[in-house]
C-alpha cells in the first residue's frame, strides 16, 4: 500500500481463492494440480498426434491443434498462479502481475471464441460446399483465420485491461477470486465503475452474440444439408464429426455467457468462482477427450503414435 492523499493506493493484491481454511487450500491445490496435469498431457498428446500424422494435416485438424494450444496457454495462465496462492499464506500478486494475468486471460478466452467460430465455418464449408472447400479453406486461409482470431482477442484484452487498470484502487486489496478478473477487480475500485461495467458487458456481448450467431447459422445450414443426404452412413459420419464441436461450444459459451454477458448485479462471487473453474480449467481438460473419443481418425492416429513410441522403447 502507498499513501496517496487521503487514500491508500494499492500496489499489490491478495487472491482470496476459495477461503482461508488450510484444509480447503490443500483440497483446492490437489484438485487444480490433477486437472492441470490432465490438461497439459491431453492437449500436448493431441497436438503431437496431429503434427506427427500427415493424414491429419487438414484445415479441421489444424484448427483443432490451435484450439489445443490455446487451452494449454489458457489453463497455464490460471492454474500455476492459483496453486501458488493455495500453498502460501500471503497469497499476494503484484499490481503488474495482476494486470499481466488479466491481459493474457482476456487474450486467450476471447481468441478461443473466434477459433471455435472458425471451426464451425470450416465444417459448414466442408459439408455444404465441398467442391470449393479446398480453395475456401486452404492452409493460407486457415492461418489467416488463426492470426485474425489472435488479433481480435488482443484488441479485447487490451481494452479490458487498460480500462480496468486506469481505475483507482484504494482501501481493500483482497480479490474475492482465485485469479485476476474484471468483475472482482471492479468491486475494489474507489471510483465510479459504471463505464467499465458497460464496456465489459458491451464487448463481451458483441463477441459472444456475434460468434454464437455465426456458429448457429452454420449449423442450421449443416443440419439442412445432412437431412437431405440419402445415405444413413453419410448422415451418421457427418453428425459424428459435428457433435464434438457442438458439445465443446455449448459448454464454453454457456459458462462464459454466465460470467460476462449478464449485469454485475445478478452475479454472485461463490457461483462465479465455480463457473470460472469450469471454463478456465475443466473445459480445457475435457476438450481433447471430446474431440478424440468420437473421432476415428484421431483415435487411429493416437494408436499409431503410441505404437511408434512403444517400438522405440
Q: Is the pLDDT of residue 185 over 70?
A: yes
CA distance 27 to 30: 5
Q: Is the pLDDT of residue 1 over 80?
A: no
Phi-psi region of 228 (alpha: psi -120 to 50; beta: other; left: phi over 0): alpha
Is 1 within the bounds of a domain? no
Is 3 within the bounds of a domain? no
Answer yes or no: are the C-beta atoms of 126 and 141 closer than 8 Å: no
Q: Is the pLDDT of residue 213 over 90?
A: yes
Return the biggest CA–CA distance within the chain.
76
User: Mean of the pLDDT values across residues 34-61?
Assistant: 93
User: Mean of the pLDDT values across residues 241-255?
Assistant: 88
Residue 124 pLDDT: 93
Q: Is the pLDDT of residue 277 over 80?
A: yes
| SS (HEC) of 204-220 | HHHHHHHHHHHHHHHHH
Q: Is pTM, for the whole model, over 0.85?
A: yes
Q: Is the pLDDT of residue 244 over 90?
A: no
pLDDT band at 265 (very low <50, low <70, confident <90, very high): very low
List the domain range (segments joined by +) for residue 250: 12-312
Q: What is the CATH number of the domain that holds 98?
A: 1.20.1070.10
Q: Which of 162-166, 223-227, 256-260 has the lowest mean pLDDT?
A: 256-260
Is 279 within the bounds of a domain? yes
Domain count for the chain:
1
Q: Is the pLDDT of residue 264 over 80?
A: no
Residue 87 pLDDT: 85
Answer yes or no: are the C-beta atoms of 64 and 50 closer than 8 Å: yes
**Following DSSP, what letter does each residue of 173-211 receive, concatenated?**
-EESSSS--HHHHHTTBSS--HHHHHHHHHHHHHHHHHH
| Beta strand extents in the chain (DSSP E only) | 2-4, 7-9, 12-15, 92-94, 174-175
Is 5 within the bounds of a domain? no
More confident residue, 19 or 63: 63
Distance, first Cα to last Cα, the chain: 56
Answer yes or no: are the C-beta atoms of 248 and 214 closer than 8 Å: no
User: Mean of the pLDDT values across residues 269-282?
Assistant: 87
Torsion of CA 75, 112, 136, 124, to 10 degrees: 110
Is 4 within the bounds of a domain? no
Give the cell for residue 267. Answer: 452475479
The mean pLDDT value of the chain amounts to 87
User: Mean of the pLDDT values across residues 218-241?
Assistant: 78
Is 7 within the bounds of a domain? no
Is 298 within the bounds of a domain? yes
Is 169 within the bounds of a domain? yes
Residue 90 pLDDT: 77
pLDDT band at 271 (very low <50, low <70, confident <90, very high): confident
Amino acid at each position: 500500500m502507498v499513501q496517496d492523499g487521503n487514500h491508500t493506493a494499492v500496489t499489490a493484491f491478495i487472491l482470496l481463492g476459495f477461503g482461508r481454511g488450510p484444509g480447503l487450500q490443500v483440497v483446492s491445490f490437489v484438485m487444480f494440480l490433477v486437472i492441470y496435469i490432465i490438461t497439459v498431457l491431453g492437449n500436448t498428446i493431441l497436438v503431437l498426434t496431429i503434427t506427427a500424422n500427415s493424414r491429419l494435416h487438414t484445415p479441421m485438424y489444424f484448427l483443432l491443434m490451435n484450439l489445443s494450444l490455446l487451452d494449454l496457454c489458457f489453463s497455464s495462465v490460471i492454474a500455476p498462479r492459483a496453486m501458488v496462492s493455495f500453498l502460501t499464506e500471503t497469497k499476494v500478486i503484484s499490481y503488474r502481475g495482476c494486470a499481466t494475468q488479466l491481459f493474457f486471460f482476456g487474450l486467450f478466452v476471447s481468441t478461443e471464441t473466434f477459433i471455435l467460430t472458425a471451426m464451425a465455418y470450416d465444417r459448414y464449408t466442408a459439408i455444404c460446399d465441398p467442391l470449393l472447400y479446398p480453395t475456401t479453406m486452404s492452409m493460407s486461409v486457415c492461418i489467416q483465420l488463426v492470426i485474425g482470431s489472435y488479433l481480435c482477442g488482443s484488441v479485447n484484452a487490451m481494452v479490458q485491461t487498460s480500462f480496468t487498470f486506469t481505475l483507482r484502487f484504494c482501501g481493500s486489496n483482497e480479490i474475492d477470486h482465485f485469479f485476476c478478473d474484471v468483475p472482482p477487480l471492479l468491486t475494489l475500485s474507489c471510483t465510479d465503475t459504471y463505464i467499465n461495467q458497460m464496456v465489459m458487458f458491451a464487448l463481451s456481448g458483441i463477441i459472444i452474440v456475434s460468434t454464437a450467431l455465426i456458429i448457429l447459422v452454420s449449423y442450421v445450414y449443416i443440419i439442412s444439408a445432412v437431412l437431405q443426404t440419402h445415405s444413413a452412413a453419410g448422415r451418421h459420419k457427418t453428425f459424428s464429426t459435428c457433435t464434438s464441436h457442438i458439445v465443446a461450444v455449448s459448454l464454453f459459451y454457456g459458462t462464459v455467457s454466465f460470467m460476462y454477458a449478464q449485469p454485475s448485479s445478478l452475479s454472485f462471487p461463490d457461483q462465479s468462482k465455480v463457473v470460472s473453474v469450469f471454463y478456465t480449467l475443466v473445459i480445457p481438460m475435457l476438450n481433447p477427450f471430446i474431440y478424440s473419443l468420437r473421432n476415428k481418425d484421431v483415435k487411429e492416429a493416437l494408436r499409431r503414435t503410441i505404437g511408434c513410441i512403444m517400438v522405440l522403447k
